[in-house]
Amino acid sequence: MTEITFKIDWLAITGWGLPSYALELWQEWLSDYLGDPVPMGFGGRGYKSIGKSLAGAKLYTQPANEGNHFHIELPASACDAIPPEQMSRMMQYLAEQEEPENHRFRVTRLDLAWDGVNFTPQDFLEAVENDYIRTLAKRETTRVEQSPMTEKEDGSLGTTTIYLGSRTSTRSIRVYDKRGFTRVELEIRQERADQIARLLLVELPQKWSELGIAHLRDYIDVFENDEKENLAPWWEELVTGIVRANLKVSDAADIELVRLQRWMVTQVAPALSVLMDTVGLRVLESYVAYGRHKRGDRYKHLLENIKPEPPFRMQQSQLAM
C-alpha cells in the first residue's frame, strides 16, 4: 500500500484595499518565503500592474476599473514554498481583519491535491466510462490527454491526464501521472472556493485532508460496479484511509534555480555547445559578462534570495524534463 499525501496546490485571493495594503500583507505573510514582488512593467487579469515573486507567485494591483482591490496568485510551486502553518495563520488573520466596508477578501481558486493514490488515470477513466461513479459533473466533460513520449519526473515515458468537469463550473477534477505517481486534484473556483477555504485553511494543516475528502466526495465517488453500493477498493483507500499532510517546505529560490537550469538545458545548451565547439570557451565568458550587465530586477531578486549554499550541484535527473 502506498503512502498518500495531501497538499494545497493553488491558492488565489482577491482582497479589497489600496496597493500599499496589498504590499503590507505580502511582506507580513509571504516575503520571508517568496521574496518581495518585482514589478514586471505590464498588467494582466484586469489589473494595470503585476509584481512577480519567486516560484511564480504574483501580486496584481491597480485594477483597470479603478476600484481598490488586488489579487494574490500562489501557484503550486509557491504553495510548496510556504509552510502550511503560515498559510493557515495568514487565512486566520485575513478573516479576523475583515470588515464589511474594509479589508474584505475572497478566495477565488483553491486546488486540493492527493499524491501517491493507489490507482492509475486509466483506472479512473474506466470507472467513468462504465458509469461506476456518482458525480455532479456531466460525463460529456470528460477529457483525456495522453503523451506517450513525454518523460515523467521519475524518468519513465508516457503521461496520462483525465479531466472531468467543466472549466466554467465551480469544481472539476483531474487525475494524472506526469510526476511518476498518480495525483488526484480537485480544482475549486469562485464562491465555492471561498466557502471551502474559509472552513478548511483556518484549521490545523493535519486536518486539511480529512476536510478536503468530504468536499471531494461531495463532488464524486467511485464504486466497484454500476450498482453503486460499494466503493471501489482503490477509491475507498483514498477516501477512508490515513492520509499524511505534506508538511515539507521547498525553498522558493531553489525552485526558481531548478526551473532556470531546466530552461538552460532544454533551450540553450544545444546552441551553446555548437558555439563552444567552434569558437571556444571565450564565447561563454563573454556571454556571462554581458548577462551580468544586462540582467534585470527578476534575476537580481533571485540572487538576493539565494541561500548561502545554492543548489548548483543538482543531479542530472533533477534537470531532466
CA distance 165 to 171: 7
Task: Give the pLDDT of residue 275.
Answer: 81
Closest CA to 181 of 101, 117, 256, 112: 117
C-alpha grid cell for residue 307? 541561500
**The architecture CATH gives domain 7-103:** 2-Layer Sandwich (3.30)
Q: Calculate the CA dihedral of residues 18, 24, 27, 28 and round it to 10 degrees.
A: -130
Q: Using an 8 Å Cβ cutoff, are 185 and 179 in contact?
A: no
145-150: list long-range contacts, CB under 8 Å, 24+ apart: 150/178
Domain with CATH 3.30.160 in the chain: 7-103
3-class SS string, 67-95:
CCEEEEEECHHHHHHCCHHHHHHHHHHHH
Neighbours of 49 (CB within 10 A): 18
Which residue has cell 519567486? 54
Where the chain has pLDDT below 50, the residues are 308-321
pLDDT per position as a tens digit, 142-176: 999 999 888 887 778 899 999 999 989 999 999 99
